[in-house]
Amino acid sequence: MNEFKIKDDHIKLGQVLKAAGLVGSGVEAKIVIQEGQVKVDGEVDTRRGRKLFGGEIVSFEGEEIRIVK
């Protein structure tokens, strides 16, 4: 499992996917999130604007990323 350190109070789900290199663009992030391919803490989340504050685990295509503050 990889870690992704956030600099601010929070980061949005779509931004994490792009910044971590799991998708190539914001548009691609939007599509995979809306299609239900992304999980946060084991549950599908279709909100690309979902705010992550640290401690969450994001899963996509077999990759897991722990959000750390």
Q: pLDDT tens digits for 4-60?
A: 999 999 999 999 999 999 999 999 999 999 999 999 999 999 998 999 999 999 999
Element (H or E) spanning 46, and its range? none
Which pLDDT value is given to residue 28?
A: 97
pLDDT of residue 43: 97
pTM score, two decimals? 0.93
- The CATH code of the domain at 2-68 is 3.10.290.10
4-39 burial string, b = 16+ CB within 10 Å, else e? bebeeeebbbbbbbbebebbeeeeebbebbeeeebe
The two tokens of residue 8 are 């601010």
- Domain borders along the chain are 2-68
